[in-house]
């Protein structure tokens, strides 16, 4: 497990070891003294009823998290974040590491993890970050942190963000390791994907209410199931609004890359709109992860996948014949209670397969320095997977 942290600790040491004057040393001491610490807790019960599984899953887990950020030191700041995922009571679920395969998967394995350890330079136009860090792009459809799970996905990387002007900004990251959600020790899933990942985006705002995002993701992994997820993805997103209606459209194309054993080329398309109707905000959209003749399909291995294609997580790996997702949803607020619901209809890109449908419902109530959330997902299978119901009760609190 120590090897997972060694490169980050070495890099932080290298970046931080800069000859400094007495005045700078005092400034650094002040930065440490001015640092801010935060301790937060997430307690969650997750229930899974999955047709075909021998038992229902009941997972009660607690995740304490410690976060520390220094004050400013000659435009440099430093950050550290650690957490621990602890099961409470008997483990009647498959965490992917505990061997409880008679139960459905709840991918929250027990263990301590180093989420972040970085040095960051903040200039007028340039921000440079080195070390273990979060890298969250736009809505996290292609690159994200999977913050829904108890153990987040972070990156051992160097990242430069440059604001060339008020209209144009560029973001480049080179990551040599992806610290995945499966804990520091791994199990049936590798805890890390090693390799070379170039994550590039450019944002251009030519006028008010018009935003263009171009992206290029070159992912080359050399271990575990990361190898077939070695991909080259190029695309762009356009966002605008017409009156109260917000619109977005994304198009991309993907091919195999590096040492991937696959040979394919597949497009991605997404269209969406949202608008308020009285006190209710409605949204609708269409998303296609296409297939190349049923051999392989567009995939998003670094995405926060739980946000897309239904909370039941039945499509974490894109089916080889692709997937179409047609969805409609609504959200509102009743007092302090936030409510939302979404309906999905899933089908294949090729072969005319009706995968099934899903309804997702959530209610979130802020309580002082925390919140309580009740969330439900029900997937009704047709010709893919099996009927699945998931229920989460989550409490968050920050000291």
CA distances from 131 to 118, 173, 199, 293 (A): 4, 11, 15, 40
SS3 276: strand
Distance CA 345, CA 388 (A): 15
Predicted local distance difference test score (pLDDT) of residue 16: 47
Q: Which CATH number characterizes residue 242's domain?
A: 2.40.160.10
Question: Domain total for the chain?
Answer: 1
Predicted local distance difference test score (pLDDT) of residue 187: 83
Predicted local distance difference test score (pLDDT) of residue 33: 83
Q: What is the mean pLDDT of each run of 10 residues along the chain (399 residues)?
A: 49 47 62 91 98 97 98 94 96 96 97 96 97 98 98 98 97 98 88 97 97 98 96 98 97 97 98 98 98 96 98 97 98 98 98 97 97 98 97 97
Distance CA 252, CA 236 (A): 6
DSSP assignment string, 185-234: T-SSS-SEEEEEEEEEEEEEEEETTEEEEEEEEEEEE-SGGGGGG-EEEE
- The residue segments making up the domain with residue 22 are 2-398
Name the token pair of 9.
Answer: 């600790």
Does an H or E element contain 9, and which? Answer: helix 2-16
Cβ atoms of 265 and 295 closer than 8 Å: no
């Amino acid at each position: 497990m120590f090897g997972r942290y060694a490169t980050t600790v070495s890099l932080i040491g290298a970046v931080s070891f800069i000859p400094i004057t007495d005045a700078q040393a005092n400034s650094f001491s002040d930065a440490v003294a001015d640092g801010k610490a935060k301790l937060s807790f997430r307690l969650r019960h997750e229930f899974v009823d999955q047709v075909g599984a021998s038992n229902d899953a009941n997972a009660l887990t607690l995740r304490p998290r410690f976060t520390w950020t220094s004050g400013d030191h000659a435009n440099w700041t430093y950050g550290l974040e650690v957490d621990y995922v602890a099961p409470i009571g008997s483990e009647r679920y498959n965490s992917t590491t505990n061997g409880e395969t008679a139960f459905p998967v709840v991918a929250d394995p027990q263990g301590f993890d180093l989420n972040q350890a970085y040095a960051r330079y903040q200039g007028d136009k340039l921000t440079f970050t080195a070390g273990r860090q979060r890298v969250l792009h736009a809505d996290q459809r292609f690159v994200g942190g999977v913050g829904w799970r108890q153990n987040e996905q972070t990156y051992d990387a160097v990242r430069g963000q440059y604001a060339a002007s008020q209209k144009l900004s560029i973001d480049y990251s080179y990551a040599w390791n992806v610290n995945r959600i499966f804990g520091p020790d791994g199990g049936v899933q590798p805890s890390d994907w090693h390799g070379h990942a170039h994550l590039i985006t450019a944002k251009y705002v030519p006028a008010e209410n018009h935003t263009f995002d171009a992206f290029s993701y070159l992912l080359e992994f050399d271990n575990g199931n990361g190898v077939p997820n070695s991909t080259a993805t190029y695309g762009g997103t356009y966002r605008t609004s017409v009156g109260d209606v917000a619109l977005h459209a994304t198009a991309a194309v993907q091919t195999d890359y590096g040492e991937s054993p696959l040979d394919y080329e597949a497009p991605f398309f997404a269209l969406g709109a949202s608008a308020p109707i009285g006190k209710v905000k409605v949204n609708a959209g269409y998303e296609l992860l296409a297939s190349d003749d049923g051999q392989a399909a567009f995939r998003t291995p670094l995405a926060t996948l739980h946000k897309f294609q239904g909370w039941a997580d039945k499509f974490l790996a894109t089916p080889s014949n692709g997937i179409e997702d047609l969805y409609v949803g609504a959200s509102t607020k009743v007092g302090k209670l936030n409510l939302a619901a979404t309906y999905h209809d899933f089908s294949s890109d090729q072969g005319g397969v009706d995968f099934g449908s899903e309804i997702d419902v959530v209610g979130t109530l802020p309580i002082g320095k925390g919140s309580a959330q009740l969330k439900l997902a029900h997937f009704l299978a047709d010709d893919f997977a099996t009927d699945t119901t998931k229920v989460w009760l989550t409490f968050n609190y920050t000291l």
